[in-house]
Structure 1
Amino acid sequence: MTRSTRETAAGWFSALTSGDAARAAEHLADDIEWINYAPVPGYNDRMPWIGTYHGPAAVLDSLKVFLDMVEVGKEELVDLVVEGDEAIGILHEKSVVKETGQSFEIDFIQHLTVRDGKIVRWKSYTDPSQILRAIDGRAA
């Protein structure tokens, strides 16, 4: 039996917010398209984990780059909206850039497309200015 869009999204966000990468990866389709912002040279390219990736291995590699640079303090799902094969999760995160010790706090949206109980497309939206400030070592 295939998981519903809501079950898939809820499982993904539960694994993600608890830091369980292996369980999170189980929700990704083999042909996933992962769109984590668009790099803009001279602006957000100091966030080396962003970009578009294909396949679970590439996604996990980009998450590793993020986790090598950032200590996630708290990440929680604030709201989940599901319609058909689309799900939108609104998350709140408080984290610290390891190199600078500077914290940041953001709200971000993950837009998921689910097919056959797996996430086939993932796209993230946020204002990265707080992350960039913390990377540059500037206090809030």
Structure 2
Amino acid sequence: MSNPTEETRKVAQQWFDALTGGDFETALNTLDENVEWINYTPIPGYNDDMKWIGTVQGREAVLGTLQIFTGAVDVKFEKLVNLVVDGTQAAGVIQEVSVVKETGVEFQIEFIQWLTVRNGRIVRWKSYTDPSSIIRALRGDHTGEVAA
């Protein structure tokens, strides 16, 4: 494709469709082999309960962080609610409802995934959200739990 926005939209849509559909193999195949994956900055005593966060380089390292996440959290619902694309950049807004396996506490978040796409692959991925409800659920605090 000669239009960067069209190429970015295609790759981003494929990523989000695969991610929200639970098709991790297809999702991983949209990532560049050397993708820069930035999933928050761990802050000791605050968000380091989230063992899957931090910055990693490469598809295999991303797979490792996703395995840590899915080992700790059961995603019940995940939906792309908005996608904005401009050139090589895409921002997707995701709504997610999940349960921490160890505590049984449910949490709900809305987060943004900021993607950079080059040559048909995601070369940079960065996530933005308020992790408070995730941390509360990881610590077993039922305050603010999503009603069933």
- TM-score, length of structure 1 as denominator length: 0.98
Please list every run of 5 or more consecutive structure 2 residues that lacks an aligned counterpart in the other structure.
Answer: none
SS in 2 for 1:38: coil
Superposed CA deviations along residues 38-90 of structure 1, whole A, max 9, x for unmatched, are 00011000000000011100001100000000000000000000000000000
Please list every run of 5 or more consecutive structure 1 residues that lacks an aligned counterpart in the other structure.
Answer: none
Query: Would you identify which runs of 4 or more consecutive aligned residues in structure 1 move more than 3 Å?
Result: none
2:94 aligned residue (91, 110, 121): 91
Per the alignment, residue 133 of structure 1 pairs with 136
2:35 aligned residue (32, 35, 49): 32
Take 1:63 and 1:52, find their aligned partners in 2: how far apart are those partners?
12
1:72 aligned residue (72, 75, 78): 75
SS in 2 for 1:42: coil
Matched, 1:107 2:110: yes
Which amino acid letter does the alignment assign opposite residue 104 of structure 1? F
SS in 1 for 2:133: helix
Superposed CA deviations along residues 69-112 of structure 1, whole A, max 9, x for unmatched, are 00000000000000000000000000000000000000000000
Take 2:99 and 2:135, find their aligned partners in 1: how far apart are those partners?
11
Per the alignment, residue 126 of structure 2 pairs with 123
Give the % identical residues.
56
Take 2:39 and 2:11, find their aligned partners in 1: how far apart are those partners?
19
Per the alignment, residue 50 of structure 2 pairs with 47
Per the alignment, residue 5 of structure 1 pairs with 8
Which amino acid letter does the alignment assign opposite residue 19 of structure 1? G
SS in 2 for 1:9: helix
Per the alignment, residue 14 of structure 1 pairs with 17
- TM-score, length of structure 2 as denominator length: 0.92
Provide the aligned C-alpha RMSD in A: 1.1
Equivalent residues, number: 140
